């Protein structure tokens, strides 16, 4: 193993919360009991959420939460203890070690033992400083930003209600391990969102919008919030007149929001090596295989600053790097953490993330994006489609990684007829099989970038970014 040490990039820290001496003794105790590895990770979050309904403050909640999780690996099995009582964690070494031993005792000889890939052992601090520290933003400013959306979103008799929301967090993490890793890092995330509800008689629809990422107030200030509100209003009113979407197989063109959700669900999740190891991924054993169209190159990159899914260090203390999941249609890399990197004899790529200090790290995506292609714009993508769907904005999605089937839903959509957008439709969802639909991607515009921020659930919820260019799929199951 290589031991490195470097200086903090900037001083943005609140100081150490864990008592180094006590934690070192606890980790030493774990190894003296016979543990192969032990770690203690603390996360302290300073949060602020706020919301308006119809332009009036509904709630504002400041919070300060802390959680700490100890993982002990003994005889090739994990024992874990999590608590919000930071001081008590050092008293849990023995019981957590015994948990790990009890799990190990149940393993049959044919079952794989847990081992960890070697990684650089680092002692350092990394603090990503926001241009405008979100902790210094007062409630009046938050309200002013939400009103900027609200004021533009409600200006129509058919808009019956508006709701806007705010969420920011300063995340401070400390990790110490029995291998000597001792890292501290911090960064911030900021998010603003809204929902517009429109009604015409018995017809009622809603449209949601969201903007944010890694960073402070500067992220929100950079967004034209008034335009966001106006666009949401226009979309909601348009949905009131939209007809139900047709069902069946047809060409699909997706905007970058939906392209992002598609690649997150259809490819990203099956690429998570813990699911591959569990026998729950359709991509098991397919590294090096062509699984998609040659125009498809997909990366997952936690280092894209500003992306909602980025982080300075992963939750096992590994420096993150971009992962090339698919290059020109060929599956080249799984997302992994130390356990799965060892299991599949891969280089660790820093894909371990935990929801907070009370959860253990899993293999997770960060910012997942399809690279751009050769098409100039939307018009060029749809010009040779006789009948199809152009779908925009995400309502979320889901995947069955084992079967390789997925589903995602659009906020709004248009019928494409004879190479042009014709009438709006609603309730568009798209489903398909990962191993088929990746091959059916036959057009991508040149410009690729992250779309609206999102959240990913896998037992734990983490913020993610995803996006890409506008994408055309030759044939997809719609409705």
Partner 1 sequence: MIPDDAVERLMESALLIGAECEKANIQQWEIYANQGYGHSMEIEAGRISMASGGGEGGFGIRVVENGRYGYAHLVDTSSSKRAIEQALSIANRSPSIEGFELPGNQSASNVGGMKDKAILDMTPEDLLEQGDQVLTRVSELDSRAVAVGGGIGVGAGAGAIVTSNGIEYGGVYTSHGIGIHVSIDEDEQLTSSYEGESSRKLLSDVTSSVDKAVHWSQITREKIPGGETEDCPVLMTSDGFSPLFSVVVPSAVKGERLARGESFWSGKMNQMVIADHLSLTDDGLMEGGMSSGSRDDEGVPCRTQKIVESGRLTGELWSTRDAAKSVAEGKVDSAESTGSASRGGHTSPPLCGCNDLILSSSAKSHDRDRLIEEMDNGYIVHSVMGAHTANPTSGDFSVTTSTILRVEGGTVIGAISQAGLSGNMAKALNGRVVLGDSSKRKGSYSTGSMHVPDVLLMDGLRINPA
Smaller CB separation from partner 1, 86 or 330: 86
Smaller CB separation from partner 1, 9 or 65: 65
- List the interface residues with partner 1, window 373-402 (CB under 8 A): 395-400, 402
Smaller CB separation from partner 1, 85 or 136: 85
- The three-state secondary structure class of 170 is strand
Q: How far apart are CA 369 and CA 260, in angstroms?
A: 6
- List the interface residues with partner 1, window 338-377 (CB under 8 A): 358, 360
Smaller CB separation from partner 1, 24 or 206: 206
- List the interface residues with partner 1, window 56-85 (CB under 8 A): 56-57, 59-67, 69, 77-85
Q: Does 199 bind partner 1 (CB under 8 A)?
A: yes
Q: Does 417 bind partner 1 (CB under 8 A)?
A: no
The residue range among 25-33, 423-431, 438-446, 464-472 that interacts with partner 1, by the rule CB under 8 A, is 423-431
Q: Does 8 bind partner 1 (CB under 8 A)?
A: no
297-333 burial code (b ≥16 CB/10 A, e <16):
bbbbbbebeebbbbbbbbbbbbbbbbbbbbbebbbbb
- List the interface residues with partner 1, window 102-131 (CB under 8 A): 102-103, 106-108, 111, 114
CB 450 within 8 A of CB 214: no
- List the interface residues with partner 1, window 264-323 (CB under 8 A): 274, 277-280, 282
Count the residues of the shown chain that bind partner 1, applying the rule CB under 8 A: 80
Q: In the complex, what is the shortest distance from the CB of residue 479 to partner 1, in angstroms, rounded to a whole number?
A: 5
Smaller CB separation from partner 1, 69 or 177: 69
Q: In the complex, what is the shortest distance from the CB of residue 354 to partner 1, in angstroms, rounded to a whole number?
A: 12
Smaller CB separation from partner 1, 53 or 286: 53
For residue 82, which of 359, 344, 325 has the smallest C-alpha distance? 359
Smaller CB separation from partner 1, 327 or 435: 435
Q: How far apart are CA 284 and CA 441, in angstroms?
A: 22
Q: What is the DSSP string of 44-106?
A: EEEEEEEEEETTEEEEEEEEEEEEEEEEEEETTEEEEEEES-GGGGGGGHHHHHHHHHHHHHT
Q: Does 139 bind partner 1 (CB under 8 A)?
A: yes
Q: Does 263 bind partner 1 (CB under 8 A)?
A: no
Q: Which residues lie closer than 8 Å to 82 by C-beta, 6 or more apart?
A: 67, 68, 69, 70, 357, 358, 359, 360
Q: Is 196 left (phi over 0), alpha (psi -120 to 50) or beta?
A: beta
């Amino acid at each position: 193993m290589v031991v490195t040490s470097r200086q903090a990039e900037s001083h943005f820290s609140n100081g150490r919360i864990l008592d180094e001496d006590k934690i070192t003794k606890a980790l030493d105790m774990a190894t003296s009991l016979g543990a192969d590895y032990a770690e203690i990770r603390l996360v302290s979050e300073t949060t602020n959420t706020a919301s308006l309904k119809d332009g009036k403050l509904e709630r504002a909640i400041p919070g300060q939460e802390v959680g700490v999780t100890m993982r002990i690996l003994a005889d090739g099995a994990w024992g874990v203890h999590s608590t919000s009582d930071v001081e008590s964690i050092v008293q849990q070494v023995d019981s957590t070690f015994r948990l790990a031993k009890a799990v190990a005792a149940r393993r049959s000889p044919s079952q794989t033992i847990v081992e960890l890939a070697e990684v650089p052992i680092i002692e350092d601090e990394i603090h990503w400083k926001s241009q405008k520290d979100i902790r210094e933003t007062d409630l009046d400013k938050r309200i002013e930003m939400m009103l900027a959306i609200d004021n533009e979103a409600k200006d129509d008799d058919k808009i019956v209600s508006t709701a806007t929301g705010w969420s920011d967090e300063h995340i401070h993490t400390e990790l110490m391990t029995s291998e000597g890793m001792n890292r501290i890092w911090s960064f911030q995330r900021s998010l603003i969102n809204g929902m517009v509800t429109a009604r015409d008689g018995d017809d009622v629809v809603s449209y949601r919008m969201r903007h944010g990422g890694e960073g402070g107030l500067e992220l929100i200030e950079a967004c034209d919030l008034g335009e966001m509100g106006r666009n949401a209003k226009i979309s909601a009113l348009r949905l009131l007149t939209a007809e139900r979407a047709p069902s069946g197989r047809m060409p699909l063109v997706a905007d970058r929001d939906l392209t992002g959700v598609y690649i997150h669900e259809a490819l990203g999740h099956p690429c998570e090596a813990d699911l591959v190891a569990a026998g729950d991924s359709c991509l098991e054993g397919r590294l090096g295989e062509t699984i998609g169209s040659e125009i498809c190159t997909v990366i997952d990159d936690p280092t894209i600053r500003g992306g909602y899914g980025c982080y300075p260090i992963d939750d096992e203390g590994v420096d993150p790097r971009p992962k090339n999941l698919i290059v020109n249609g060929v599956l080249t890399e799984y997302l992994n953490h130390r356990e799965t990197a060892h299991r599949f004899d891969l280089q660790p790529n820093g894909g371990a993330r935990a929801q907070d200090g009370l959860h253990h790290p899993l293999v997770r995506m960060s910012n997942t994006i399809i690279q751009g292609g050769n098409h100039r714009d939307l018009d060029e993508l749809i010009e040779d489609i006789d009948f199809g769907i152009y779908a925009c904005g995400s309502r979320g999605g889901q995947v069955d990684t084992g079967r390789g089937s997925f589903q995602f839903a659009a906020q709004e959509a248009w019928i494409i007829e004879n190479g042009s957008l014709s009438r709006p439709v609603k309730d568009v969802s798209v489903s398909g099989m990962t191993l088929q639909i990746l091959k059916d991607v036959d057009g991508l515009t040149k410009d690729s970038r992250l779309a609206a921020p999102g959240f990913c659930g896998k037992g734990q919820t983490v913020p993610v970014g995803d996006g890409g260019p506008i994408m055309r799929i030759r044939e997809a199951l719609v409705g």
